[in-house]
């Protein structure tokens, strides 16, 4: 006997009392774990069913107020318990009617059938359980099928030989093939030839062994277009455990792959010239230094700087300056071998690595560069009235050193010697240049001393809100105290700090001091924000992130009062690290401003990937704004882009009242410059 919750609940709908008693005795003879509720009419049965539901119903066909089949449902799926129809006289038509309406069994009442009623109920309950399980299974299959049909993933099922038996609509819309074109074929109709053969071997070895395989395919659509997909292929087994089919679930990852490739390219390339950037240049230099030492061959490192570029850039405009950088990059590429490495180090500085090169060959290459650039300046329409030259510093390695940063410093020093010789010249590094390096080392020691003995000080320069001419923010500027109390500007020591790896310590000091300044003066409660400059090295500084989090937790200041300024160039050269750095601090509640924005407009395509809040328009676009219509149009375009992205704009180098009025007219949000206010020591600035 099948019993639910240890007690079988039966609803017996029967008007003949002797039959009721016989049925009750038949069950009690088998078990005491039974509860029989009796209804003598259809009305009583409906009243009972409105309050509770039995495990099984024994239903007499003829009742005083009608036929028992009235309690059956035309929709069998609505029944929640099995029903056995009972009748005193056998009638095939009654049986058919009852079974159509959902009765599970039909019996003719007799002493024998009543005595077997427990067995009849047990059989009915067992069949009912199977029916319920089958309904659930069918429902699950329908749900699974609908899920597969509507899935955003590509779904494919093949037989054991890889012949396609099913594909879902997403497969069809992605690949361009119809079901008729792929059913009966193998998935290799999608092969592009870009996926290694070894990968297919690993796939089949894995799934035929009964394991799931995961990987990526570079496939081809029906129209010839290539696409990437991430696939998971799983063996399907029958009840005996034999593999009969394979299920493939695939995701179109083409957009993600393209974005990853773009990020990788951006990390290693300069966005303006498309040359390698400083990061890749250093990696390549380190590799060649190791190879040169190991195999005993000479290499040359060339450090190039365009003479008078700033003057040309400011005179002819930034667009022409960018065009000049691009064309100089192309000229340099024409002067070197395919095995050489050319990069833009930043600004108007370029670097070239010449492997397997003597000093004579390095000189020859440099002379070729000077000649080509001179001929370019004579024929180029926009710059023919300007003498365009480059100064080149050369260092040989491993002869002059085996440290990448030291060699770059040597080449840089040699380049400055070339400029001092009259520009448009070439200069090799010599031991005499070491004296200049010693001066840099002296600055290094002064920086270390300033960090150790608190000789750095913070200055604040006010930033005006152009919507109401009020001041609610300041840019934090770094100064160093000299031995005689003089104030030293960062232009005198930051370059040395960057070369000797001390810039991270400075970033940390400035950041922590700024948070402390906000806390001590309760600037956040007064609605005052501080903008703190960070170097590109900060993006790789996990210690700085940890220090900021700890300091914010301890000081309890509002993180939104802290705005970090980062430069466009630093972000582009370290895109992936910058994204991680920015998102981490943004999650803490801090905000960001992109400094020097607008150099070449190259930054526009990256803004959608950077969670910055403010764009600081480069000062080169501002200081001649009242008299330069080109700058006015460019600033207007930047403002429109910023507004479209939900970001605020800040103009730097504001020098007069006309500039302020024009910035307000163009819709710039904030202004900063000597006309707005000079930098002052933090204590004085906050008092005033």
Closest-CA residue to 423 (of 392, 453, 391): 391
pLDDT tens across 525-535, in order?
999 999 999 99
Angle at 579 between CA 318 and CA 545, to 5 degrees: 115
Q: Is the pLDDT of residue 572 over 80?
A: no
Task: Give the fold, CATH level 3, of 443-687.
Answer: TIM Barrel (3.20.20)
Rounded to whole angstroms, the Cα distance separating 625 from 658 reads 9
Only one residue has tokens 């002296």, namely: 442
Q: How confident is residue 598, by pLDDT bands cut at 50, 70 and 90?
A: confident
pLDDT tens across 138-187, in order?
666 677 777 677 778 888 899 999 999 998 888 998 999 999 999 999 99
Given a contact cutoff of 8 angstroms between Cβ atoms, the answer to whether 523 and 476 are in contact is no
Given a contact cutoff of 8 angstroms between Cβ atoms, the answer to whether 427 and 390 are in contact is no
Q: Note the pLDDT of residue 380.
A: 59
Given a contact cutoff of 8 angstroms between Cβ atoms, the answer to whether 258 and 226 are in contact is no
Q: Note the pLDDT of residue 383.
A: 61
DSSP string, 499-541: HTT-HHHHHHHHHHHHHHHHHHTTTTTTT-EEEEE--GGGGG-
pLDDT tens across 621-635, in order?
998 999 999 999 999
Given a contact cutoff of 8 angstroms between Cβ atoms, the answer to whether 104 and 84 are in contact is yes
Residue intervals in the chain for CATH 3.30.70.270: 261-429
Q: Is the pLDDT of residue 74 over 60?
A: no
By CB neighbour count within 10 A (0-12 exposed, 13-18 middle, 19+ buried), where does 568 fall? buried
Q: How confident is residue 384, by pLDDT bands cut at 50, 70 and 90?
A: low
SS3 content of the chain, % helix, strand, coil (to 5): 50, 25, 30
pLDDT tens across 410-435, in order?
898 899 888 878 778 999 998 777 67
Q: Note the pLDDT of residue 347.
A: 86
pTM as predicted: 0.47
513: its two tokens: 């001091």
Rounded to whole angstroms, the Cα distance separating 216 from 262 reads 18
pLDDT tens across 337-362, in order?
999 999 999 889 999 999 999 999 99
Which is more confidently placed, 137 or 340? 340
Strands 529-533 and 562-567: parallel
Which range (129-143, 358-372, 397-411, 579-593) has the least confidence? 129-143
For residues 306-330, average pLDDT? 82
Look at residue 247 and give its three-state secondary structure. strand
The alpha carbons of the chain give a radius of gyration, in whole angstroms, of: 41
Percent of the chain at pLDDT exceeding 70: 93
* pLDDT mean across residues, the chain: 87
Q: Note the pLDDT of residue 4.
A: 47
Rounded to whole angstroms, the Cα distance separating 620 from 476 reads 21
Phi, psi of 288 (to 5 degrees): -70, -30
Which is more confidently placed, 438 or 230? 230
For residues 507-516, average pLDDT? 95
Given a contact cutoff of 8 angstroms between Cβ atoms, the answer to whether 81 and 56 are in contact is yes
Given a contact cutoff of 8 angstroms between Cβ atoms, the answer to whether 622 and 631 are in contact is yes
Which range (198-202, 382-386, 567-571, 604-608) has the least confidence? 382-386
Q: Note the pLDDT of residue 573.
A: 65
pLDDT tens across 257-313, in order?
888 777 777 778 888 898 999 889 999 999 999 999 888 899 999 999 998 787 677
Q: How confident is residue 1, by pLDDT bands cut at 50, 70 and 90?
A: very low
In CATH terms, the superfamily for domain 8-145 is Response regulator (3.40.50.2300)
Q: How confident is residue 604, by pLDDT bands cut at 50, 70 and 90?
A: low
Which is more confidently placed, 607 or 363? 363
78: its two tokens: 């609505």
Residue intervals in the chain for CATH 3.40.50.2300: 8-145
Rounded to whole angstroms, the Cα distance separating 461 from 477 reads 7
The dihedral through the CA atoms of 26, 30, 32, 33 has a sign that is negative
62: its two tokens: 């003829």
Q: Note the pLDDT of residue 241.
A: 87
- The secondary element (H helix, E strand) that includes residue 230 is strand 226-237
Rounded to whole angstroms, the Cα distance separating 38 from 36 reads 6
Closest-CA residue to 60 (of 48, 70, 68, 49): 68
Q: Note the pLDDT of residue 78.
A: 63
Q: Note the pLDDT of residue 576.
A: 73
Q: Note the pLDDT of residue 370.
A: 92
pLDDT tens across 6-62, in order?
788 999 999 888 888 888 888 888 777 888 999 999 999 999 988 888 989 998 888
Q: How confident is residue 385, by pLDDT bands cut at 50, 70 and 90?
A: low
Rounded to whole angstroms, the Cα distance separating 521 from 517 reads 6
For residues 204-213, average pLDDT? 91
Instruction: Indicate the CATH number of 151-252 among 3.30.450.20, 3.40.50.1360, 3.30.70.1150, 3.40.50.1100.
Output: 3.30.450.20
Rounded to whole angstroms, the Cα distance separating 379 from 373 reads 10
Q: Of 11-15, 203-207, 668-672, which has the strongest mean pLDDT?
A: 668-672
Phi, psi of 149 (to 5 degrees): -60, -35
DSSP 8-state symbol, 389: -
Q: Is the pLDDT of residue 606 over 80?
A: no
Closest-CA residue to 623 (of 649, 651, 599): 651
Q: How confident is residue 584, by pLDDT bands cut at 50, 70 and 90?
A: very high
By CB neighbour count within 10 A (0-12 exposed, 13-18 middle, 19+ buried), where does 305 fall? buried
pLDDT tens across 395-408, in order?
999 988 899 988 99
Q: Note the pLDDT of residue 32.
A: 74
For residues 221-238, average pLDDT? 91
CATH class in words for 261-429: alpha beta
- 49 has which bridge partners? none
DSSP string, 591-660: EEEEEEETGGGGGGGGGGG---SEEEE-GGGTTTGGG-HHHHHHHHHHHHHHHHTT-EEEE----SHHHH
SS (H, E, C) 163-226: CEEEECHHHHHHHCCCHHHHCCCCHHHHECCCCCHHHHHHHHHHHHCCCCEEEEEEEECCCCCE
Q: Is the pLDDT of residue 381 over 70?
A: no
Q: Note the pLDDT of residue 2.
A: 46
Which range (327-336, 369-378, 654-663) has the least confidence? 369-378
- The secondary element (H helix, E strand) that includes residue 351 is strand 349-354
Residue intervals in the chain for CATH 3.30.450.20: 151-252
Rounded to whole angstroms, the Cα distance separating 328 from 273 reads 9
Phi, psi of 643 (to 5 degrees): -60, -40
Percent of the chain at pLDDT exceeding 90: 47
Q: Of 127-136, 455-464, 498-507, which has the strongest mean pLDDT?
A: 455-464
By CB neighbour count within 10 A (0-12 exposed, 13-18 middle, 19+ buried), where does 334 fall? exposed
Q: Note the pLDDT of residue 163.
A: 93
Q: How far is CA 105 from CA 120, 123, 350, in A?
A: 8, 9, 92
């Amino acid at each position: 006997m099948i019993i639910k919750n240890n007690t079988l609940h039966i609803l017996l709908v029967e008007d003949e009392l002797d039959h009721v008693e016989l049925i009750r005795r038949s069950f009690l003879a088998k078990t005491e774990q039974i509860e029989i509720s009796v209804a003598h009419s259809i009305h009583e049965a409906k009243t009972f069913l409105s309050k509770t539901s039995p495990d099984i119903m024994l239903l007499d066909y003829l009742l005083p107020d009608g036929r028992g089949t009235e309690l059956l449902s035309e929709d069998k799926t609505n029944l929640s318990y099995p029903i056995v129809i009972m009748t005193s006289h056998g009638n095939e038509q009654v049986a058919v009617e009852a079974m159509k309406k959902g009765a599970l069994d039909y019996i003719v009442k007799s002493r024998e059938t009543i005595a077997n009623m427990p067995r009849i109920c047990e059989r009915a309950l067992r069949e009912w359980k199977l029916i319920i399980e089958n309904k659930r299974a069918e429902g699950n299959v329908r749900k699974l099928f609908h899920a597969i049909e509507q899935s955003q993933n590509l779904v494919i099922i093949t037989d054991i030989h890889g012949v396609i038996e099913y594909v879902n609509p997403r497969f069809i819309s992605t690949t361009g093939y119809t079901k008729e074109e792929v059913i009966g074929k193998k998935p290799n109709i999608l092969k592009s030839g870009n996926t290694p053969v070894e990968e297919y071997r690993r796939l089949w070895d894995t799934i035929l062994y009964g394991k799931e395989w995961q990987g990526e395919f570079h496939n081809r659509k029906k129209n010839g277009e290539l696409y990437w997909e991430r696939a998971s292929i799983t063996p399907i087994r029958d009840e005996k455990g034999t593999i009969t089919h394979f299920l493939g679930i695939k995701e179109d990852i083409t957009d993600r792959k393209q974005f990853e490739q773009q990020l990788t390219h951006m990390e290693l390339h300069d966005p303006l010239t498309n040359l390698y950037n400083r990061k890749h240049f250093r990696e390549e230099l380190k590799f060649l230094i190791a190879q040169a030492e190991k195999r005993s061959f000479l290499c040359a490192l060339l450090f190039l700087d365009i003479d008078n570029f700033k003057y040309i850039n400011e005179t002819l405009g930034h667009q022409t300056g960018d065009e000049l950088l691009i064309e100089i990059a192309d000229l340099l590429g024409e002067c070197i071998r395919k095995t050489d490495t050319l990069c833009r180090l930043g600004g108007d500085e370029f670097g070239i690595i010449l492997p397997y090169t003597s000093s004579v060959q390095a000189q020859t290459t440099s002379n070729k560069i000077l000649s080509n650039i001179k001929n370019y300046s004579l024929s180029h329409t926009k710059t023919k009235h300007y003498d365009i030259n480059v100064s080149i510093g050369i260092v040989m390695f491993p002869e002059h050193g085996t440290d990448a940063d030291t060699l770059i410093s040597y080449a840089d020093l040699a380049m400055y010697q070339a400029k001092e010789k009259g520009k448009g010249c070439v200069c090799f590094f010599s031991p005499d240049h070491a004296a200049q390096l010693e001066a840099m080392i002296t600055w290094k020691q002064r920086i270390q001393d300033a960090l150790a003995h608190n000789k750095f000080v913070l200055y604040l320069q006010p930033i005006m809100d152009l919507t109401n001419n009020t001041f609610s923010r300041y840019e934090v500027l770094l100064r160093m105290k000299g031995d005689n109390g003089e104030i030293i500007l960062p232009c005198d020591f930051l370059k040395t700090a960057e070369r000797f790896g001390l810039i991270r310590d400075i970033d940390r000091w400035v950041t922590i001091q700024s948070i402390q300044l906000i806390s001590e003066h309760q600037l956040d409660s007064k609605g005052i924000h501080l903008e703190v400059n960070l170097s590109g090295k900060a993006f790789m500084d996990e210690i700085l992130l940890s220090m900021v989090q700890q300091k914010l937790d301890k000081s309890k200041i509002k993180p939104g009062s802290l705005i970090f300024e980062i430069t466009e160039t630093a972000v582009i050269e370290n895109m992936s690290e910058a994204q991680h750095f920015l998102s981490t601090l943004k999650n803490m509640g801090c905000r960001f401003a992109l400094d020097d924005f607008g150099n070449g407009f190259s930054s526009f395509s990256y803004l959608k990937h950077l969670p910055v809040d403010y764009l600081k328009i480069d000062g080169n676009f501002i200081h001649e704004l009242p008299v330069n219509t080109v700058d006015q149009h460019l600033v207007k375009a930047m403002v429109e882009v910023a507004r479209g992205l939900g970001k605020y704009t800040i103009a730097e180098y504001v020098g007069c009242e006309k500039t302020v009025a024009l910035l307000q007219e163009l819709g710039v949000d904030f202004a900063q410059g000597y006309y707005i206010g000079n930098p002052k020591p933090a204590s004085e600035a906050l008092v005033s």
